[in-house]
Amino acid sequence: MSDQYSTEPLLEMYLFETSQLLEQLEQSILSSEKESGYTEDAINEIFRIMHTIKGSSAMMLFDNIAKLAHSIEDLFFYIRKEKPEKMDLSALSDLVLEGVDFIKTEVDKIKGKSPADGNAEDLVTTSKTLLAELKQMNAVPDISLITPAPVAKSTAQTTAEDILETQHYYISQANTPVSNGTFAYKAVVHFEEGCEMENIRAYTIIHNLKETAGDLYYLPADIIDSDESVNIIRKDGFQIFITTDWDYRKMHDFLMQTIFLKDMELTSLENTSVLDQFKKKDTELVEKPIKMPTGKEVNVVEKSSRIPLQEKEALPTNTTQSIISVSVVKLDKLMDLVGEMVIAEAMVIQNPDLKGLQLSNFSKAANQLNKITSEIQDIVMSIRMVPLSATFIKMHRIVRDMCKKLDKDVQLEIIGEETEVDKNIIEHISDPLMHLVRNSVDHGIETTEERLEKGKPKSGTITLEAKNAGSDVLIIVRDDGKGLNKEKILKKAKENNLLFKNEEDMTDKEIYNLILLPGFSTKEKVTEFSGRGVGMDVVTKNIEAVGGTLSVDSVADKGTVITLKIPLTLAIIDGMNIKVGKSRYTIPTISIKESFRPKESEIIHDPDGNEMIMVRGECYAIRRLHDVYRVATNITRLSEGIIIMVEQDEKTVCVFADELLGQQQVVVKALPQYIQNFKKIRGLAGCTLLGDGSISLILDVARMFNH
Amino acid sequence: MAENYSRLEVEEDTQKDRYLTFLIGEECYGFEIKHVTEIIGIQAITEIPELPEYVKGIINLRGKIIPVMDVRLRFKKETLIYNDRTCVIVVDVNDISIGFIVDQVAEVMSIPEEDIVDPPRVHKGMNNKYIKKIGKVGNSVKLLLDCEMLLTDQESEEVNEAV
């Protein structure tokens, strides 16, 4: 149990880091493929990512992941080093992407607390075959340089060996001409207090010096192996004895670059006798930190091998260090608390005890408070906003895979990916969006031959566009494919009894929107990607779950446009508070067209007792809230209350309430699960707390029409 | 870790066999103390339409919105106007927070296991499916309620209503 506790944060970090790396990896593969060639940067990046994944997976004892990462790393190590001219690019991309998928599945398994037991043998073999082919193709004489990928090993200890093997890769001592050194120095380095891991930092210096050094010795000698060394370095400083070609100035500058350096003394040595002492004492010293006992704990090995890499990176990217990742749970909590604070503020400032008092100082202070809270609210909201780019970019992969499988030629164009949406919403739209893109590739875009016949450009285009529209975000999926077939849709709808009015009366748009109904799928053939009849209605449901809407438009042979309208945020809306009897309700301000007090003469009754009202020549139905929700109120005459005209999706209805209470920003809270379990309560979207601590129910305007 | 574990055990021990008892009319009922989060006075309840009568609505408990159920109405007793003795017992069962409105809270008492017996077999029309056990304390009897049943057994209820 205690084990579980201690590894939990580590595991979380691992999962987070790995999934981020995988995404990065996928990106660089796809962009490389687009440019039909791997740039040196891309190769380096892939190598580095694979290396990191390998290391951390081995540390967390996920051997299969480590193994796979290792074999791919080998492959890229070769490519990086030899820069082979002939490469089977697509096979390589396929392999890496498959590897990414494999690791992703494993990571998901780990997340779901089940053992990561996938078998990577096949992929490892493919990778090795590919490596062998590459070598053959480019016939490098010096094959012995490359460490052959070790065969499946299962224990942590042997994985540590793997790491050690790879360590040779970037400690390039052997490759650089080693000079005997014309100058000899003694340097004493002190690190800043509290910088931690002094021994690792010292090792970094040694590692960096190695390339130029002739002879190199240091005290304490066992910096990596012994924890005691940290204390010695803290107390006495880290002593280095070195012979090198560098002159004093260069040496000095080099050492001054050390991170967390407090002070450093560099003295030239007249003779090398000091060094000779060391030579006699322990000739192995230099090698020691590299060749470590393999039985050592993996994470220690890991540190020593990773730090040099990371430190190198850290130097140029220091400026981006100002970004940290925070768990969403904490943000949710913060959001809740800010909501609370806004309410508490209203409670204080509008306290009934203060009524009628002249408090000029108090109101000044209150104003100040008000400013600050609204600023905090804005900031917290903006923290939760995430650009859509990550979601959009994922689609590249889907389009690529499908094109390969279906033998189509499709370009994905992305516009406005910097548009920001609340984190919660992003999670909800990712799947629907994927579905839509798949649909477009599978059903929308024609095969290359068909396209040429129709005189269209050979490759189809799918455009993914996001833009802000007031308090909504529009996401548009557009393809230039064959468009929707009206007749087919109508036929299918008739078969499945989905028609709600006469065929002849339906507009094109209404016909197209039929495909959003449950149980509708036009594709005759079920393919791997779509056409199982649970397509668009699931998309619709998911989008509706976050308060969005979906609409379809299409022109035959020109293409199809699907527009998702999604609220910017779920958490806070502009609302109009209204009162009925003792209850309060909130209507989202965006759906309110106008409000007015009706005259009795404008009201029309039909024989069924329904009430309607004429406004500027148009007739609207009236819904009395007190009737709908059975609330006791004294105001039942329409001329005494107020009518609020609300509009949603081009439908309009008049809602009758007692009075308007005023407009304010409200924090949307879900109704308690227990209440929702009873049944879906008609026309309620949630609830919110008003300034005086009372609860107001938020009306879901769209559902009010279905009464 | 061992420390943690033992602390956990102690904590469980202090809650074991302890019940919060309350009155509804003449009867004394009890909840297992481990379910109870807090007891608050009655406060303004926001009604929600289209719910069974015994679910009175929702309340604002320091920013958390929780539903409240009138136990009196749940047991099909006549309504009583709320007074200053009326309390809401906030209970946490299976991650659902809910308030139970009761006439009056009595006390927290220990009822040792050996004094707890099964309720008598169900008679027709007798509404005791919510009573898990019966505790004997001196001469009196405490009806120990099954919180989960109170929450989950609404389907059959609704069927009855529909009939």
Distance from CA of B142 to the nearest CA of A (A): 27
* SS3 of A275-314: HHHHHHHCCCCCCCCCCCCCCCCHHHHHHHHHHHHHHHHH
In chain B, which residues have their Cβ closer than 8 Å to the Cβ of A682?
50
In chain B, which residues have their Cβ closer than 8 Å to the Cβ of A630?
49
Comparing CA positions, the residue from A396, A468, A493, A398 lying closest to residue A439 is: A398
Cβ within 8 Å, pair B98-A674: yes
Going through A470-504 in order, the beta strands assigned E by DSSP cover 472-479
Burial of A94 (0-12, 13-18, 19+ CB in 10 A): middle
Cβ within 8 Å, pair A689-B63: yes
Structural domains in chain B, CATH included, are 19-142 (2.40.50.180)
From the list B49, B67, B158, which residue is nearest A674 (CB)?
Answer: B67
- Which residues in chain B (107-146) have CB-CB distances under 8 A to chain A? none
The low-confidence residues of chain B, meaning pLDDT below 50, are 1-3, 156-163
Q: Does B150 touch chain A (CB under 8 A)?
A: no
Provide the mean pLDDT of chain A: 74
Cβ within 8 Å, pair B49-A681: yes
* pTM confidence score: 0.49
Going through A306-452 in order, the beta strands assigned E by DSSP cover 385-387, 410-415, 420-422
Cβ within 8 Å, pair A672-B47: no
pLDDT of residue A208: 72
Q: Does B55 touch chain A (CB under 8 A)?
A: yes
In chain B, which residues have their Cβ closer than 8 Å to the Cβ of A672?
58, 65-67, 96-98
Cβ within 8 Å, pair B46-A339: no
What whole-number distance in Å separates Cα of residue A179 and Cα of residue A160? 32
**What are the distances in angstroms from CA A25 to CA A28, A30, A50, A394?**
5, 9, 9, 12
pLDDT of residue A353: 84
Cβ within 8 Å, pair B51-A681: yes
In chain A, which residues have their Cβ closer than 8 Å to the Cβ of B48?
671, 675, 681, 684, 697
pLDDT of residue A420: 84
Strand order in the sheet with A460-469: A410-415, A460-469, A472-479, A559-567, A549-555
pLDDT of residue A240: 77
Angle (CA) A461 A467 A472, round 5° = 130
What whole-number distance in Å separates Cα of residue A227 and Cα of residue A634? 80
H helices of A480-620, in order, are 486-495, 508-513, 536-545
Specify the long-range contacts of residues A264-273, CB closer than 8 Å, at least 24 apart: A264/A187, A264/A188, A264/A189, A264/A190, A265/A187, A265/A188, A266/A185, A266/A186, A266/A187, A267/A185, A267/A186, A267/A187, A268/A183, A268/A184, A268/A185, A269/A184, A269/A185, A269/A186, A269/A241, A270/A184, A271/A184, A272/A184, A272/A215, A272/A243
Q: Which of A674, A679, A680, A694 to mutate against chain B (most B CBs within 10 Å)?
A: A674
The token pair at A344 is: 């508490």
- DSSP symbol at A641: S
In chain B, which residues have their Cβ closer than 8 Å to the Cβ of A696?
46
Q: Does B156 touch chain A (CB under 8 A)?
A: no
pLDDT of residue B89: 93
Torsion sign (Cα): A438, A440, A442, A445 = negative
In chain B, which residues have their Cβ closer than 8 Å to the Cβ of A340?
62-63
- The residue behind tokens 């140029």 is A316
In chain B, which residues have their Cβ closer than 8 Å to the Cβ of A675?
48, 51, 55, 58, 67
The answer to whether residues A661 and A584 touch, using CB atoms and an 8 Å cutoff, is: yes
What whole-number distance in Å separates Cα of residue A334 and Cα of residue A573? 18
Return the CATH architecture of domain A174-289. 2-Layer Sandwich (3.30)
CATH of domain A2-170: 1.20.120.160
Q: Which residues pair with A449 in a beta bridge?
A: none
Q: Cα dihedral angle (A227, A228, A234, A239), rounded to 10 degrees?
A: -100
Size of interface A-B (CB pairs under 8 A): 73
pLDDT of residue A174: 40
Top CATH class, A388-567: alpha beta
Q: Which residues pair with A479 in a beta bridge?
A: A462, A560
What is the end-to-end Cα distance of chain A in Å, rounded? 55
In chain A, domain spans: 2-170, 174-289, 328-386, 388-567, 572-704
Distance from CA of A678 to the nearest CA of B (A): 7
Distance from CA of B66 to the nearest CA of A (A): 6
pLDDT of residue A266: 75
In chain B, which residues have their Cβ closer than 8 Å to the Cβ of A697?
46, 48
Specify the long-range contacts of residues A52-57, CB closer than 8 Å, at least 24 apart: A52/A17, A52/A21, A52/A306, A53/A18, A53/A21, A53/A22, A53/A103, A54/A162, A54/A163, A54/A166, A55/A163, A55/A302, A55/A305, A55/A306, A56/A14, A56/A17, A56/A18, A56/A302, A57/A14, A57/A18
**What SS3 state is found at A688?**
strand
The answer to whether residues B149 and B131 touch, using CB atoms and an 8 Å cutoff, is: no
ipTM confidence: 0.76
Residue type, B104: Q
Top CATH class, A572-704: mainly beta
From the list B55, B60, B63, which residue is nearest A336 (CB)?
Answer: B63
Mean pLDDT of each 10-residue bin along chain A, 707 residues long = 52 80 82 76 82 81 82 81 73 82 83 74 80 71 42 40 41 42 74 68 72 72 68 75 74 72 73 58 44 40 39 43 77 81 77 83 89 85 82 85 84 87 82 85 83 85 85 84 81 75 76 75 50 63 77 84 79 82 87 88 84 87 86 84 84 89 78 74 77 81 64
Greatest Cα-to-Cα distance within chain B, rounded to the nearest angstrom: 56
